[in-house]
Amino acid sequence: MVYENPDGVRIGLEVHVQLNKLNTKLFCGCSTNYHDSEPNTHTCPVCLGLPGSLPVINEKAVEFAIKIGLALNCSIVEQTQFHRKNYYYPDLPKGFQTTQYDYPIAGEGKVIIEGEDGEHEVGITRAHMEEDPGRLQHMGSIDRSKGTLINYNRSGMTLIEIVSEPDMRSPKEARRYLDKLRSILDYLDVFDGDLEGAMRVDANVSVHWGERVEVKNISSFKGAERALLYEIMRQKNHIRRGGEIVLETRHFDEARGVTISMRTKEEEHDYRYFPEPDLVPLRVADWVPKVRETLPELPDAKRERFMKEYGLGETHARALTTEIKLANFYEEVASKVDPKDAAVWVSDTLKGELNYRELTIDAFTVKDIVTVIELVTGNKITEQSAVEIIRTVLDDGGKPQEIVEKKGLLKVEDDIVAKAVEEAVAENPDAVADYLGGKEKSLNFLVGKVMQKTKGRADAREAREKVLAKLKE
Amino acid sequence: MITKEEVEHVGWLARIEIDAKESDAYAEKLNSVLGYFGQLDEVDTEGVEPTYHVADIVNVFRKDEVTGSMPQEEVLANTEHKQEGNFKSPKIM
């Protein structure tokens, strides 16, 4: 099946990734650990843009940038430098943003996503380094603002801007691309994606192969999908009514789920880039072999290996390798119990229960899930009981063994079940007669009686088989 | 040639108010500076790499080690426009 892309949709994304796992900012020694701090407590003359201050590049930030570039299959440039992008806005204390321009540290690359019609390649145009601006907070609503509060704690944080080709053909593919990017960055251990503002997205979108519109202010992946769905619909409607799509920037209003045209002053993009005289050029291509050695096994490779090494199907392998933490958890479990059982219990049951509670894999231990899997595969408890144990650990705490004892979840012995079956059949001759007369439903009634008599500790499927066997006698 | 309009535009980009009388004077001055660059342009630079820095050095780095920040009072010491630890600006869109 080939995806036809009936509306000629093309989406390109610019993703800003904040490298918040660095200890310090891009050009100064201010700590990056500002998220729960008072405003303007993580700043210094450099990130405040005070006269006479001199920026110096964080070596580790460059290493991380190269690492990201390599993971996205990008070429790494021979020599690069920083530029000043001049614009006057209070989130930049210097009046310019230090960024990269004509020689981004990472050039063309690609990412493979699960597209509308199978594997789909999204080209990476470039990835460059730049500093994060400060944070603005408008007092009151945006149109009736009484003023703006400025906090420069974020100012000077290292950003990597990853620019894609317009290769995505639907909001769903855009979402998949973002998920994939997040997954890769998690594997690289260069950022904590759960921190506020760790990944920010701008989108370029066009329909019918026409002019593109830029959508800004997207704050989440879900938001990206919604913004794109809305914007595609808006462009289609506009064209249907005889309108023409013009190159413009629109602002996504998350609360209302719409995009709004930003009143653009003429020549907003008059940035007057010029080389940053306070920073010397970087010649770091020779770092590549060393950085490449630090690259972990990435999601695609891990998925392939899980399928080969553990005999998993693609769905399980994919689900288990999206998050590095989950993948590591799974491998520990798989070293102790049958890998296929491990996949079912970790990927289907445990992950499901975690997602339902919006918890991560940190909320459960390898030891506990191994105990649960051993109990169920050793035929000591029913699958239902196993699920109940997992839920109880998550909701009330405790150890699986204790829960088994406290709740009396050990499966009853076969002879007790057999006795319950005999009783159930003997005590309900009408139901037996109904079943034998062709009323299938009566079987459920009898199985229910057996479960009642064993206080739910019999395996329902086994009980059913035993009742059936008894009825056939 | 830099026109009066371009001077005003550049002034707007830098949020500097330039009145009509000044813009003529600035245009003249900027054009004279550009004139010098015109002279430099006459030099044959075929095959010469552009120079961004007079000192021929590359790769000046800093270790990723925290060196500390300034106290909030000091950060805000140079402004009267502050509120709850923030700088405060007039409303912006």
pLDDT of residue A140: 74
Distance from CA of B70 to the nearest CA of A (A): 5
**Residues of chain A contacting residue B59, judged by C-beta atoms under 8 Å apart:** 280, 282-284
Distance from CA of A249 to the nearest CA of B (A): 14
Give the contacts of A375 (CB within 8 A, at least 6 positions apart). Answer: A381, A386, A389, A400, A404
Query: Lowest-pLDDT range, A60-64, A369-373, B6-10, B58-62?
Result: B6-10
Pairing of strands A158-164, B61-62: unpaired
Q: How many CA atoms lie within 13 A of A39 on its CB side?
A: 16
Which amino acid appears at position A415 of this protein? D
Instruction: Identify any residues that bridge with A110 across adjacent strands, giving them in sequence order.
Output: A123
A471 and A422 Cβ atoms separated by less than 8 Å: no
Q: Write down the residue that tokens 């800004």 correspond to.
A: A216
Task: Mark whether A304 and A276 lie in a shared domain.
Answer: no
User: B13 φ, ψ to 5°?
Assistant: -60, -35
Residue A430 lies in a domain: yes
Of B9, B61, B87, the CB nearest to A59: B61
Interface test with B, best of A20, A23, A40, A266 (most B CBs within 10 A): A40
Residue A4 lies in a domain: no
pLDDT of residue A266: 45
Residue A1 lies in a domain: no
B90 contacts A28? CB cut-off 8 A: no
Task: Mark whether A384 and A419 lie in a shared domain.
Answer: no
Task: Mark whether A68 and A137 lie in a shared domain.
Answer: yes
Of A40, A45, A90, the CB nearest to B92: A90
A119 and A177 Cβ atoms separated by less than 8 Å: no
Task: Mark whether A369 and A231 lie in a shared domain.
Answer: no
> Across residues B26-37, what is the average pLDDT?
92
Residue A31 lies in a domain: yes
- Among A243, A276, A292, identify where a domain stops: A292
The count of CB pairs under 8 A between chains A and B is 134
Task: Mark whether A227 and A348 lie in a shared domain.
Answer: no
Considering only alpha carbons, which residue of chain A is nearest residue B50? A275
A149 contacts B83? CB cut-off 8 A: yes
Question: Quick one: B21 exposed, middle or buried, by C-beta within 10 A (0-12, 13-18, 19+)?
Answer: exposed
Task: Mark whether A161 and A196 lie in a shared domain.
Answer: yes
A41 contacts B13? CB cut-off 8 A: no
Instruction: Identify any residues that bridge with B88 across adjacent strands, giving them in sequence order.
Output: A149
| Distance separating alpha carbons of residues A155 and A158, to the nearest angstrom | 9
Please write the tens of the pLDDT for every residue from A267-279: 556 888 999 999 9
Task: Mark whether A117 and A148 lie in a shared domain.
Answer: yes
Structure token digits, residue A153: 């704690």
Residue A5 lies in a domain: no
**Residues of chain A contacting residue B70, judged by C-beta atoms under 8 Å apart:** 43-45, 48
B66 contacts A43? CB cut-off 8 A: no
A176 and A150 Cβ atoms separated by less than 8 Å: no
pLDDT of residue A464: 86
Please give chain A's pLDDT, 473 residues, in tens: 789 999 999 999 999 999 999 999 999 999 999 999 999 999 999 999 999 999 999 999 999 999 999 999 999 999 999 999 998 888 999 999 999 999 999 999 999 999 999 999 999 999 999 999 999 988 876 566 678 999 999 999 999 999 999 999 999 999 999 999 999 999 999 999 888 889 999 999 999 988 999 999 888 899 999 999 999 999 999 999 999 998 888 999 988 999 998 865 445 568 889 999 999 999 999 999 999 999 999 999 999 999 999 999 999 999 999 999 999 999 999 999 999 999 999 999 999 999 999 999 999 999 999 999 999 998 888 888 999 999 999 999 999 999 988 887 787 777 778 888 888 888 888 888 888 888 888 888 888 888 888 877 778 888 888 888 888 77
- Among A274, A292, A310, identify where a domain stops: A292
Class of domain B4-41: mainly alpha
Task: Mark whether A109 and A234 lie in a shared domain.
Answer: yes
A281 contacts B52? CB cut-off 8 A: yes
Residue A262 lies in a domain: yes
Task: Mark whether A189 and A232 lie in a shared domain.
Answer: yes
A122 and A113 Cβ atoms separated by less than 8 Å: yes
User: B29 φ, ψ to 5°?
Assistant: -65, -45
pLDDT of residue A145: 67
| Distance separating alpha carbons of residues A320 and A306, to the nearest angstrom | 9
A58 contacts B61? CB cut-off 8 A: yes
Which of A1, A71, A118 is closest to A297 using CA atoms? Answer: A71
| Distance separating alpha carbons of residues A410 and B43, to the nearest angstrom | 92
Task: Mark whether A249 and A347 lie in a shared domain.
Answer: no
Structure token digits, residue A46: 């450099």
Task: Mark whether A25 and A127 lie in a shared domain.
Answer: yes
**Residues of chain B contacting residue A39, judged by C-beta atoms under 8 Å apart:** 72, 84-86
* ipTM of predicted assembly, 2 dp: 0.87
Full residue range of the structural domain in which residue A422 is found: 414-472
Number of domains chain A contains: 3
What is the 3 state secondary structure string of A285-322?
HHHHHHHHHCCCCCHHHHHHHHHHHHCCCHHHHHHHHC
- Among A259, A292, A325, identify where a domain stops: A292
pLDDT of residue A422: 84
| Distance separating alpha carbons of residues A466 and A449, to the nearest angstrom | 13
Which amino acid appears at position A452 of this protein? Q
Q: Write down the residue that tokens 């001199």 correspond to.
A: A54
pLDDT of residue B54: 78
A66 and A76 Cβ atoms separated by less than 8 Å: yes
Task: Mark whether A314 and A275 lie in a shared domain.
Answer: no
pLDDT of residue A142: 58
B61 contacts A270? CB cut-off 8 A: no
- What would you report as the CA-atom Rg of chain A, rounded to the nearest whole angstrom? 29
B76 contacts A40? CB cut-off 8 A: yes
- C-alpha distances out from residue A340 to A156, A279, A354, A380, Å: 47, 54, 20, 19
A417 and A450 Cβ atoms separated by less than 8 Å: yes
